[in-house]
């Protein structure tokens, strides 16, 4: 198959637009690192790349890193973004996450009809959501099914879908009835092997982005269920380090209750921890996609104990490449065995690294990406019938109905609107963008972090806001802004909650307000 370098029209430089919710925080979480690496591959292949972030608040650092690699960076999907799309006549537009494509791909198709739309799943969201619901003995409601339909509609409207494992590519292809739509593009940019051997290594490390609910649950399970089953003497010599972004106070408190557990939090690079640890733990109880933390550990030559969800999509064999242990007793026994049995440790380290090098080498991932692009540009263009765009319009109408039914007429609302004025048309109720400028217009970006999000909410409360509306397209805020989530769940009353529509919170009234009688 021809690679993308060979198909530039008339010898011109091919142009790619890459869109994501945030600037790629590649040193904080695996999804951002994956997007950052895809951009790097495109640049190395001679593509001109423009990056657009829905939330450009962290552009000072991460946007500058992209610019240093020759990437044009643009924050926000505003009128200027439309000008950029029209002027560049992009060959491809690559969207990170289906909900970004649902909202913005129709806009790109309308402005630049020849641009091919690619959607990077990161993981298949409806699969992860369903596993989380059923794993907690819940039931999948209408909201979850609607989200699944919207996600699949978005994939079906694309010219190509990028999946991180063959299992998820096959699942998407089976459900949309097109065996040529979804392709595997592996995670690349692997760590080199550790220079340290068995005797020079100490401790157990668990690495994750703890804003991501499966990682948060895994850390709690490791502390509360696995650690009590480990020999205290072993933990004295080999303590557990929990490393990663978003390690909030609740997880730190859980770690502090147990001997031999250290809550480290974010570090500039996880590589030294993987190189020095004797064992890596990946104790995920649910999830989807493939796990960067596991790939990195195996590439470093650090033997790993994981679960069946943690090992998914990598073709790993327990006892050969890793130890796969489901259940706290089995997990603790496997950790103990790898720490204490040198021959077993050395064999797993060798076999695990060899296996992951075959699947996730840089050149292999590069060829996969360029082949997918070539295939997308060579196939008949998707009709872009607009099911994804229509789904967003339906969402707006559902939000409007929910507000009319559950919020008093004299309320003053703030809406996580992404600047969409239609979301402020709420049955005559006063509504404002969140966040907004002092003049009351949309701020043009999202809060920088959780503390900033909470400060913005407090400012709106002081100005008289009584309710917050969080549309379904902004539910990622509850993962990304931990302080805001904890405040909303702990201090505010949830008036309405539907996975396919929105959440509505009644805000505590301040000294400058009177409580609403019918709140």
Residues 329 and 435 in one domain: no
Q: Is the pLDDT of residue 346 over 60?
A: yes
Q: At what angle do helices 98-111 and 387-406 cross, to 10 degrees?
A: 120
pTM comes to: 0.58
Q: Give the structural domain span for 419.
A: 389-506
Residues 395 and 449 in one domain: yes
- Confidence at residue 510, expressed as pLDDT on a 0 to 100 scale: 52
Q: Which of 104, 155, 105, 101 is closest to 126 using CA atoms?
A: 155
The answer as to whether 418 is a domain residue is yes
The answer as to whether 185 is a domain residue is yes
The answer as to whether 184 is a domain residue is yes
Residues 87 and 178 in one domain: yes
- Confidence at residue 383, expressed as pLDDT on a 0 to 100 scale: 52
Residues 170 and 283 in one domain: no
Q: Tell me whether the omega of the peptide bond preceding residue 485 falls within 30 degrees of 0, making it cis.
A: no
Q: At what angle do helices 213-221 and 125-135 cross, to 10 degrees?
A: 40
- Confidence at residue 382, expressed as pLDDT on a 0 to 100 scale: 58
| pLDDT mean over 273-288 | 90
Residues 405 and 498 in one domain: yes
| pLDDT mean over 205-233 | 91
Residues 377 and 321 in one domain: no
Residues 287 and 329 in one domain: yes
The answer as to whether 56 is a domain residue is yes
Alpha helices for 407-449 (secondary structure H)? none
* Burial readout 146-182 (b: 16 or more C-beta within 10 A, e: otherwise): bbbebbbbbbbbbbbbbbbbebbbebbbebbeeeebb
Q: At what angle do helices 142-157 and 387-406 cross, to 10 degrees?
A: 150
Residues 95 and 171 in one domain: yes
DSSP-based three-state secondary structure for 223:
helix
CB 62 within 8 A of CB 97: no
Residues 314 and 432 in one domain: no
Alpha-carbon distance of 323 to 325, in angstroms, equals 6
CATH of the domain at 231: 3.40.50.2000
Q: Is the pLDDT of residue 64 over 60?
A: yes
CB 370 within 8 A of CB 45: yes
Residues 450 and 464 in one domain: yes
Alpha-carbon distance of 318 to 306, in angstroms, equals 9
| pLDDT mean over 181-203 | 85
Residues 404 and 502 in one domain: yes
- pLDDT tens-digit readout, 237-256: 999 999 988 888 888 988 88
Residues 444 and 472 in one domain: yes
The answer as to whether 511 is a domain residue is no
The answer as to whether 46 is a domain residue is yes
The answer as to whether 403 is a domain residue is yes
Distance of alpha carbon 83 from the chain centroid: 28
- pLDDT tens-digit readout, 121-157: 887 777 777 777 777 677 777 777 788 888 899 999 9
- pLDDT tens-digit readout, 443-482: 766 787 888 899 999 999 999 999 999 998 788 788 778 8
Question: Residue 249: enclosing H or E segment and its boundaries?
Answer: helix 249-256
Dihedral of CA 414/415/418/419: which sign? Answer: negative
The answer as to whether 512 is a domain residue is no
Alpha-carbon distance of 78 to 176, in angstroms, equals 32
Phi and psi at residue 341, to the nearest 5°:
-105, 100
- Confidence at residue 391, expressed as pLDDT on a 0 to 100 scale: 63
Q: Using alpha carbons only, what angle is made at residue 102 by residues 443 and 382, rounded to the nearest 5 degrees?
A: 140
Q: How many CB atoms neighbour CB 516 within 10 A?
A: 15
**Total domain count for the chain?**
3
CB 288 within 8 A of CB 124: yes
- Confidence at residue 318, expressed as pLDDT on a 0 to 100 scale: 94
Q: Which of 95, 76, 99, 103 is closest to 435 using CA atoms?
A: 76
Q: Which of 151, 15, 167, 164 is closest to 94 using CA atoms?
A: 15
């Amino acid at each position: 198959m021809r690679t993308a370098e060979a198909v530039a029209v008339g010898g011109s430089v091919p142009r790619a637009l890459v869109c994501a919710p945030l600037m790629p925080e590649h040193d904080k979480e695996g999804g951002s690192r994956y997007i950052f690496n895809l951009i790097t591959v495109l640049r190395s292949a001679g593509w001109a790349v423009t990056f657009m972030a829905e939330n450009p608040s962290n552009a000072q650092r991460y946007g500058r890193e992209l610019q240093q690699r020759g990437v044009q960076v643009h924050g926000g999907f505003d009128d200027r973004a439309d000008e950029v799309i029209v002027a560049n006549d992009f060959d491809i537009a690559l969207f990170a996450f289906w909900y970004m494509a649902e909202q913005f791909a129709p806009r790109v198709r309308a402005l630049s009809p020849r641009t091919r739309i690619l959607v990077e799943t990161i993981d298949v969201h409806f699969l992860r959501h369903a596993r989380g619901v059923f794993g907690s003995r819940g039931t999948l409601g209408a909201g979850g099914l609607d989200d699944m339909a919207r996600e699949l509609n978005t994939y079906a409207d694309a010219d190509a879908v990028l999946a991180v494992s063959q299992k998820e590519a096959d699942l998407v292809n089976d459900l949309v009835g097109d065996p040529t739509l979804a392709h595997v593009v592996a995670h690349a940019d692997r760590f080199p092997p550790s220079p340290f051997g068995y005797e020079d290594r100490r401790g157990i490390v668990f690495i994750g982005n703890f804003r991501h609910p499966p990682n948060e649950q895994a850390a709690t399970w490791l502390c509360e269920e696995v650690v009590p089953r480990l020999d205290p003497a072993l933990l004295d010599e080999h303590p557990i380090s929990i490393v990663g972004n978003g390690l909030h106070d609740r997880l730190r408190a859980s770690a502090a209750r147990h001997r031999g557990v250290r809550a480290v939090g974010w570090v500039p690079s996880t590589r030294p921890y993987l190189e020095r640890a004797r064992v890596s733990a990946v104790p995920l109880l649910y999830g989807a996609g493939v796990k960067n933390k596991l790939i990195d550990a195996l590439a470093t030559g650090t033997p790993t104990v994981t679960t069946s969800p943690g090992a998914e999509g990598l073709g790993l064999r327990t006892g050969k490449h890793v130890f796969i242990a489901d259940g706290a007793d089995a997990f603790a026994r496997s950790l103990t065995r790898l720490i204490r049995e040198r021959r077993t440790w050395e064999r797993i380290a060798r076999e695990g690294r060899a296996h992951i090098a075959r699947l996730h080498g840089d050149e292999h991932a590069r060829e996969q990406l360029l082949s997918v692009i070539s295939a997308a540009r060579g196939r008949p263009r998707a009709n872009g019938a607009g099911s994804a765009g229509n789904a967003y319009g339906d969402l707006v109408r559902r939000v409007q109905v929910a507000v009319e039914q559950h919020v008093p007429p004299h309320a003053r609302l703030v809406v996580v609107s992404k600047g969409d004025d239609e979301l402020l048309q709420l049955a005559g109720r006063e509504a404002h963008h969140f966040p907004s400028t002092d003049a009351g217009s949309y701020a043009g970006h999202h809060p920088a972090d959780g503390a900033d999000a909470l400060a913005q909410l407090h400012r709106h409360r002081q100005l008289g806001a009584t309710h917050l509306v969080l549309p379904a397209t902004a539910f990622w805020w509850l993962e990304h802004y931990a302080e805001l989530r904890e405040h909303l769940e702990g201090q505010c009353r949830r008036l309405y909650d539907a996975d396919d529509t929105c959440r509505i919170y009644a805000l505590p009234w301040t000294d400058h307000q009177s409580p609403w009688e019918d709140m």
